[in-house]
Amino acid sequence: MTMLDSIPTMLATLAAAAPAESAPSPAGFWMPVGASTVAGDVDFTMDFINWVCGFFLLLVTVLMVIFVVKFRAKPGDAIRMGGPVHHTGLELTWTIIPGILSMAFFWFGFKGYLDMQTVPKNSFDVNVTAMKWAWNFKYPNGAQSEDLYVPAGRPVRLILRASDVLHSCYIPAFRVKKDCVPGRTTNIWFQCDFPTGLDVDAAHALRCAEYCGTGHSNMNRKVYVLVQEDFDNWVTKQANWLDEVPDSELSSIAGPKLYARCAQCHSLDGTPGIGPTWKGLWDRVNGGAGSDGKFTDGKGYKDIIGPGKEFETPEAYIEDSIWNPGKHVVAPFGNVMPTFKGQVNQRGAEAIIGMMKSLDQFDAKGKPIAK
Amino acid sequence: MSTISTASPAAAPHGGHTADENYLNCSRGFLSWILTLDHKRIGVMYTVSVLVSFLVGGIFALLVRTELLTPGPTITDSAETYNQWFTLHGAIMVFLVIIPSIPAALGNFILPIMLGAKDVAFPRLNLFSYYLWIAGAVLAVTSLLMGGFDTGWTFYTPYSTTTTAGGVIPVVVGVFILGFSSIFTGMNFIVTIHKLRPPGMTWFRMPLFLWALYATALMQVLATPVLAITLALLVVERSLNIGIFNPDMGGDPVLFQHFFWFYSHPAVYIMIVPAMGIISELIAVHSHRHIFGYKFIAFSSIAIAMFSFLVWGHHMFLSGQSGLMNVMFSFISFSVGIPSAVKIFNWLSTLYKGTISLNTPMLYALAFLFLFTIGGLTGMHLATLSTDVHLHDTYFVVAHFHYVMMGSALIAMVGGLHHWWPKITGRMYDEKLGMIACGFVFVGFNVTFFTQFMLGSQGMPRRYYDYAAEFQTYHVVSTIGSYIMATGFFMTAGYLLHSLFHGRKAPANPWGGRSLEWQCASPPPHFNFDETPAVGDCYDFSVVKWDPKQQGYYVDRSADPEIAKAEAERGHMHM
């Protein structure tokens, strides 16, 4: 075994000798907090590349400064004709050494990547849908959330989809990232052994990393890592929250909670936004002022809502707009809204419509006004 | 024995043949410029156009940096406006500035003179390329009037085919047309280098700038048509709703990325390879020293041009393409690093035992060496799969490609502009101001972009209008750096413009170069040379002598036996 062959083995031994972590690795000069099982390996590779590159940068800079200082022309200097103009040995040296080092980089990156690509069999699956400009996390029991909640100490697989344009799911603390591609399914997995609880400050950031327009930088959510028992409680409660809201308070309790998803584009007080404001919306669709408002295809509300028309009732129209937003687009707005089919069910739509009908009972942010 | 003078060359050489007639004053009037077939005038028009675009792109960069001073709204409360700014910054800098800057602007001026030719092989095609560039630029402006575009310079689908911004189609058509400008320039240069080399200039006697322009031209001709096809498909999808990239219509967005990067990765080398050619000239001439490892530098340009076609997939490690492809693309990507390392060490060795004149062009060349080393080395982090997963689409990538595209390609362009300024304009600029401005640019650049490496590795994605408070310190430092850099560039604009009117007249050969452009007057006469001169080894500076009377150097052609030999061969051929 040559000296060079043994280097990876030596480094691997060093890495293995490190004690199992009992807490996330703290943020350093380069890398942020590292809280997943692959973070240690990624950070090690990063450090290795940094040291090698740092050495070469220093080498080039120091040689450059020395040569410039030493061989600087002074007035009256004769032109030196002494230096060699070719040296095969040197050329081979600086071809082969960078070649070997880059193969080492490749090897470490390749090994680390294999670990990231190989999803453990017992992973806990979460379906993720990215859309302009929100995340939807759907758990095996049907629960849904806008922040991500995962159990600690077991592999979690995120099955990534996008409903409109490209997005990218990035959790810096776990060193994972993958594009969410419309029409395709991709996935990433991670395991985090350190619970954060429901503390928003301890939770990790989840960001969108692929440019997706106006709200790209607002697709920031949190990742909460819960011990298994807490997670089970949370996910059970989360699955049933809408059903547990009493019918009489559906619009006042469930309405605002669902509206939080709509608030980026639809204002409640007439402020212009990416989509039509909800102020006066109910009157418009219900035959009141502005009911001849035009869609991009030239039709008005009156043409599609009413007995015998496309929608029997205004409620049916609104419900359908939540599920199939591209069917009738109100001018001058663009066809921007993603579908909420599978995320907002019949009962959720009822809550939203109830809220639209009684907007005077909410403030501009969607909070119920205390009676 | 020739000697070095650091005294500034004073008066221009008077006397000689047809002393005062040159390409600038041989004909007058607006039409004599816009209808010119002279490669030098076309080169000047390109240079002016590219520099104006650089100013516009730079203003957008400053707007972006200023907006990022604070999280949330700073100077605009609209994320759409910010998105348009960074899109315009990127698209202008890539398509209107960096790609044409060295080949079309400086290359057009210098290439035929370096060959001792009277013009490029196809002068009319050359002027047509310029007007295609103008047409592309006009369409880009039109797109602003039609509602702008917010797609990022990469035009990724399905965002670009569904965004409500109204200016997407005109700008895409504009880039399509700019592509043809680039293809025609490339074809012109390939033919010119093949057919118009002077007696004695074998392939391995070519100045390295010509090798670099040749490698670039190959890439322009082979890669740009793919961009044209891709953009045409994009326009078809957006305007006629024919599904190619949009899955709602049966297309595949990842296909767009393959097409796009099949052009745009070679395009990175279309930007950097000519810059490397300039650096080879700058370092050799201002060190008054034969370039070290000529063949390795020449072949590494060709190697980079070849490898550049095989690595596009590293832009798509996270796009959902297969893991096996990622591994292969990662492996091949490292191969591009090696010819770049070879070049760096050869340039470094050229400094060894040179006689280094520390002037503005040389300072830019040294700045290039440092910045390109960082730009190249940080490519390692991104070619390595496991670290790229974390760094992909973050500011680390932004910093990396600014070190390569701006810190290397544009810095070389500015260095080359200073190097050939006396030749192009016939005037000397203020050397002291030049060096100070270079210092501002160098310091400002590093403050701006080195910070962004940490910003990215700490987890800040690119193209963000709003960001977490923890990143603010980095952003403030980076923005201050951009102001320092802007100060340097405005100073440069100031003293260069000043020199046009008040600069000392330049001698034919102010630096001591020996390639052919230094053997005709500054500025060159309309037809460059009466008869194509024979050449020897263009990096053999032993025949370059200092002439105190003209305060410039001259090439003692009688002292080089190779020139005599080449002349004799020409005589033989004529018989």
In this predicted structure, what is the pLDDT of residue A17?
45
The answer to the question of residue A323 being in a domain is yes
Q: What is the DSSP string of B472-504?
A: HHHHHHHHHHHHHHHHHHHHHHHHHHHHHHHSP
Number of separate domains in chain A: 3
- Cβ A105–B7 below 8 Å, yes or no? no
A177: phi then psi, degrees, rounded to nearest 5: -165, 140
- Cβ B384–A106 below 8 Å, yes or no? yes
Residue of B nearest to A67 (CA): B352
pLDDT tens by residue, A81-95:
667 888 999 999 999
For B3, the closest of A78, A181, A186 (CB atoms) is A78
- Asked if residues B516 and B114 have their Cβ atoms less than 8 Å apart, the reply is yes
Q: Which residue has the tokens 């923005």?
A: B479
% of chain A surpassing 90 pLDDT: 54
**In this complex, is the C-beta atom of A184 within 8 Å of any C-beta atom belonging to chain B?**
yes
Distance separating alpha carbons of residues B21 and B25, to the nearest angstrom: 6
Q: Which amino acid is at B152?
A: G
- Token readout for B136 is 């592309």
**In this complex, is the C-beta atom of A214 within 8 Å of any C-beta atom belonging to chain B?**
yes
Select from A241, A265, A287 the last residue of a domain: A241
Residues contacting A237, CB < 8 A, separation 6+: none
Is the domain of A253 the same as that of A179? no
Is the domain of A255 the same as that of A232? no
Burial of B485 (0-12, 13-18, 19+ CB in 10 A): buried
- Residues from chain A that touch B247, judged by Cβ atoms under 8 A, are 182-184
The candidate with the shortest Cα–Cα distance to B346, out of A80, A106, A78, A98, is A98
Q: Which residue has the tokens 């018989």?
A: B575
Q: Average per-residue pLDDT in chain A?
A: 88
- Token readout for A150 is 């995962």
Is the domain of A203 the same as that of A226? yes
Distance separating alpha carbons of residues A25 and A36, to the nearest angstrom: 9
The answer to the question of residue A216 being in a domain is yes
Distance separating alpha carbons of residues B171 and B177, to the nearest angstrom: 10
In this predicted structure, what is the pLDDT of residue B11?
37
The candidate with the shortest Cα–Cα distance to B456, out of B403, B394, B402, B379, is B394
For chain B, the distance separating the N- and C-terminal CA atoms, rounded to the nearest angstrom, is 37
For A163, A271, B168, the CA distances from A265, given in Å and listed in that order, are 17, 10, 23
Q: Which residue of A181, A208, A221, A271 is the best one to mutate when testing the B interface, meaning the one whose CB has the most B CBs within 10 A? A: A181
Interface of A with B in 35-54 (CB under 8 A): 38, 41-42, 45-46, 49-50, 52-53
Q: How far is A95 from chain B (nearest CA, A)?
A: 6
Q: How far is B23 from chain A (nearest CA, A)?
A: 33
Select from A213, A241, A269 the last residue of a domain: A241
Q: What is the DSSP string of B110-138?
A: HHHHHTT-SS-S-HHHHHHHHHHHHHHHH
Q: Which amino acid is at A177?
A: K
- Residue A96, number of CB atoms within 10 A of its CB: 11
- Residues from chain A that touch B385, judged by Cβ atoms under 8 A, are 109-110, 112-113
Q: Which residue of B70, B387, B464, B543 is the best one to mutate when testing the A interface, meaning the one whose CB has the most A CBs within 10 A? A: B387
In this predicted structure, what is the pLDDT of residue B6?
46
The candidate with the shortest Cα–Cα distance to B45, out of B132, B143, B114, B122, is B132
Is the domain of A107 the same as that of A205? no
- The C-alpha angle A293, A294, A295, rounded to 5 degrees, equals 130
Distance separating alpha carbons of residues B532 and B445, to the nearest angstrom: 42
Q: Which residue has the tokens 């929608």?
A: A311
For chain A, the distance separating the N- and C-terminal CA atoms, rounded to the nearest angstrom, is 82
Does an H or E element contain B359, and which?
Answer: none
Residues contacting A364, CB < 8 A, separation 6+: A267, A268, A269, A271
Q: How far is B182 from chain A (nearest CA, A)?
A: 28
Task: State which residues form the domain around A102.
Answer: 31-59+89-118
- Asked if residues B475 and B455 have their Cβ atoms less than 8 Å apart, the reply is yes
- Asked if residues A188 and A157 have their Cβ atoms less than 8 Å apart, the reply is yes
The candidate with the shortest Cα–Cα distance to A87, out of B115, B350, B445, is B350
Distance separating alpha carbons of residues B346 and B518, to the nearest angstrom: 24
Higher pLDDT: B373 or A279? It is B373
In this predicted structure, what is the pLDDT of residue B469?
94
The answer to the question of residue A337 being in a domain is yes
Is the domain of A258 the same as that of A216? no
The answer to the question of residue A73 being in a domain is no
Q: How confident is the model at residue A12 (pLDDT cuts 50, 70, 90)?
A: low
In this predicted structure, what is the pLDDT of residue A264?
83
- Asked if residues A88 and B21 have their Cβ atoms less than 8 Å apart, the reply is no
- Cβ A113–B327 below 8 Å, yes or no? yes
Q: How confident is the model at residue A335 (pLDDT cuts 50, 70, 90)?
A: confident
pLDDT tens by residue, B526-535:
999 998 999 9
A148-151 vs A156-162, strand pairing mode: unpaired
Q: How far is A275 from chain B (nearest CA, A)?
A: 12
In this predicted structure, what is the pLDDT of residue A1?
41
Is the domain of A112 the same as that of A141? no
pLDDT lower than 50: segments of chain B: 1, 6-17, 575
Distance separating alpha carbons of residues B158 and B237, to the nearest angstrom: 10
Instruction: Identify the three-state secondary structure at position B69.
Output: coil
The answer to the question of residue A7 being in a domain is no
Distance separating alpha carbons of residues B89 and B97, to the nearest angstrom: 10
CB pairs under 8 A between A and B: 294
Is the domain of A259 the same as that of A203? no
For A168, the closest of B318, B327, B378 (CB atoms) is B318
- Token readout for B318 is 């996270």
Q: What's the whole-number mean pLDDT along residues A120-146?
A: 93
- Cβ A110–B330 below 8 Å, yes or no? yes
Select from A209, A241, A273 the last residue of a domain: A241
For A55, A132, B457, the CA distances from A58, given in Å and listed in that order, are 5, 45, 21
In this predicted structure, what is the pLDDT of residue B248?
85
pLDDT tens by residue, A142-192:
899 999 999 999 999 999 999 999 999 999 999 999 999 999 999 999 999
Is the domain of A237 the same as that of A249? no
Q: Which residue of B84, B389, B465, B473 is the best one to mutate when testing the A interface, meaning the one whose CB has the most A CBs within 10 A? A: B389
Residues contacting B447, CB < 8 A, separation 6+: B477, B478, B480, B481, B484, B485
* Range with lowest mean pLDDT among A3-12, A185-194, A208-217, A265-274: A3-12
Is the domain of A254 the same as that of A273? yes
In this predicted structure, what is the pLDDT of residue A342?
78
In this structure, what CATH number is given to the domain that contains residue A334? 1.10.760.10
**In this complex, is the C-beta atom of A217 within 8 Å of any C-beta atom belonging to chain B?**
yes
Q: How far is B496 from chain A (nearest CA, A)?
A: 25
Is the domain of A287 the same as that of A256? yes
Q: How far is B48 from chain A (nearest CA, A)?
A: 33
- Cβ A57–B374 below 8 Å, yes or no? yes
A148-151 vs A221-226, strand pairing mode: parallel
The answer to the question of residue A70 being in a domain is no
- Cβ A75–B7 below 8 Å, yes or no? yes
Is the domain of A198 the same as that of A266? no
- The C-alpha angle B105, B111, B115, rounded to 5 degrees, equals 165
Distance separating alpha carbons of residues B554 and B507, to the nearest angstrom: 9
Is the domain of A136 the same as that of A106? no
Indicate the DSSP class of residue B101. I
The number of C-alpha atoms within 13 Å of B39 and in the hemisphere containing its C-beta is 29
B544-547 vs B552-555, strand pairing mode: antiparallel
Domains observed in chain B: 34-574 (1.20.210.10)
In this predicted structure, what is the pLDDT of residue B575?
43
- Asked if residues B469 and B71 have their Cβ atoms less than 8 Å apart, the reply is yes
- Residues from chain A that touch B383, judged by Cβ atoms under 8 A, are 102, 105-106, 109
Q: How far is B445 from chain A (nearest CA, A)?
A: 17
* Range with lowest mean pLDDT among A134-148, A284-298, A319-333, B146-160: A284-298
The candidate with the shortest Cα–Cα distance to B267, out of B60, B86, B405, is B405
The answer to the question of residue A5 being in a domain is no
B163: phi then psi, degrees, rounded to nearest 5: -60, 150
Q: How confident is the model at residue A19 (pLDDT cuts 50, 70, 90)?
A: very low
